Structure 1
Amino acid sequence: MSNQENGSLPDFILPDSLYTETIREVHSAVEHDWDSLRQSACQTAAGRALWKHVVHDPLAELLAGETYLKKLYEKINKDILNNAKEISGVIIAVRTLWFDKGIEAALTSFDGGGAQVVILGAGMDTRAYRLSCLKDSNMFEVDFPEVLQMKTTIVEAATETTDEQKHQLMMAKSLNRVAADLREKDWLEKLQESGLKLNKNTVWV
Structure 2
Amino acid sequence: MHYLFHFLLLILRNFLQLGDMSDKENGPPEGSAWAELKLPDLLFTDTIRELHAAIGKEWDSLQQSACQTAAGRAMWKHVVHDPVAGLLAGETHLKSFYDKINKDRLNNAREISGVILAVRTLWFDSKLEAALSSFNGGEAQVVLLGAGMDARAYRLSCLKESDVFEVDFPEVLQIKTSLLQAAMEPTNEYQHLRMTAKSLTRVAADIREHDWVEKLQKSGFLREKNTVWVLEGILYYLSHSQAMQVLKMIADNCCVTHTVLLADFMNKSSTMLSTSTFHFYSDWPDHLLPTLGFSDVKLSQIGDPDANFGLMHDPLNMFNKLRSLPRSVQTHPDDGTPCRRLYLVQASGSPR
Partner Cα distance (1:181, 1:197) in 2: 19
1:37 to 62, 68, 84: 62
Equivalent residue, structure 1, for 2:83: 58
On the 8 A contact 2:139/2:161 being kept in 1, the answer is yes
Aligned to 1:139: 164
| Count of aligned pairs between the two proteins | 199
> Is 1:122 aligned to residue 140 of structure 2?
no
| 2:179 alignment partner AA | I
Residues 97 and 178 (structure 1), Cα distance of their counterparts in 2 relative to 1, 3 Å cut: same
Which of 39, 42, 55 does residue 17 from structure 1 map onto?
42
* CA 1:7–1:192: 2 relative to 1, 3 Å: closer
Residue of structure 2 in register with 1:78 after alignment? 103
Structure 1 unaligned blocks of 5 or more: none
SS at match of 1:11: coil
Shift of 1:92: 1.1
Letter of the structure 2 residue corresponding to residue 99 of structure 1 = F
Find the residue that maps to 2:153 and give its secondary structure.
Answer: helix
Counterpart in the other structure of 1:150: 175
Identity of aligned residues (%): 70
Cα deviations by residue, 1:173-200 (Å, 9 ceiling, x for unpaired): 0000000011111110000000000011
1:141 and 1:109 mapped to 2: Cα distance? 22
2:128 alignment counterpart: 103
C-alpha separation between the residues in 2 aligned to 1:93 and 1:26? 26
CA distance in 1, matches of 2:202, 2:31: 45
Larger Rg: 2
- Provide the rounded CA distance (Å) in 2 between the counterparts of 1:103 and 1:113: 11
The answer to whether the 8 Å contact 1:6/1:81 transfers is no
* TM-score using structure 1 length: 0.92
Q: 2-side partners of 1:193 and 1:99: how far apart?
A: 27
Task: Single out whichever of 116-125 and 84-93 deviates more from structure 2.
Answer: 84-93
Tell me the distance in 2 between the aligned counterparts of 1:167 and 1:13. Answer: 20
- Residue 220 of structure 2, aligned match among 191, 195, 202: 195
Instruction: Provide, for residues 139-184 of structure 1, a one-character-per-residue CA deviation record: whole Å limited to 9, x for no partner.
Output: 000000010011100100110189xx98960100000000001111
C-alpha contact (below 8 Å) 2:33/2:77 kept by paired residues: no
Q: How big is the shift at 1:113?
A: 5.5
The CA deviation at 1:90 is 1.2
Deviations 1:89-126 (A, max 9, x none): 11111111100011101101112251000000000000
Deviation at 1:9, TM superposition (A): 3.9
* Distance in 2 (alpha carbons) for counterparts of 1:133 and 1:99: 12
Give the Cα–Cα distance (whole angstroms) in 2 for the partners of residues 191 and 197 of structure 1: 9
Task: Give the AA of the match of 1:77.
Answer: N
Q: Tell me the SS of whatever aligns to 2:137.
A: coil
Counterpart amino acid of residue 78 in structure 2: H
2:57 and 2:186 mapped to 1: Cα distance?
Answer: 26
Q: 4+ residue stretches of structure 1 with deviation over 2 A?
A: 5-9, 165-168
Correspondent of 2:114 among 67, 73, 89 = 89
Indicate which of 173, 180, 183 corresponds to 2:205.
180
d(CA) in 1 for partners of 2:160, 2:167: 20
Supply the AA of the counterpart residue of 1:147. Answer: V
- What is the alpha-carbon distance in structure 2 between the residues aligned to residue 7 and residue 46 of structure 1? 18
CA positional deviation for 1:22: 1.0
Gaps (5+ residues) in structure 2? Answer: 1-29, 231-352
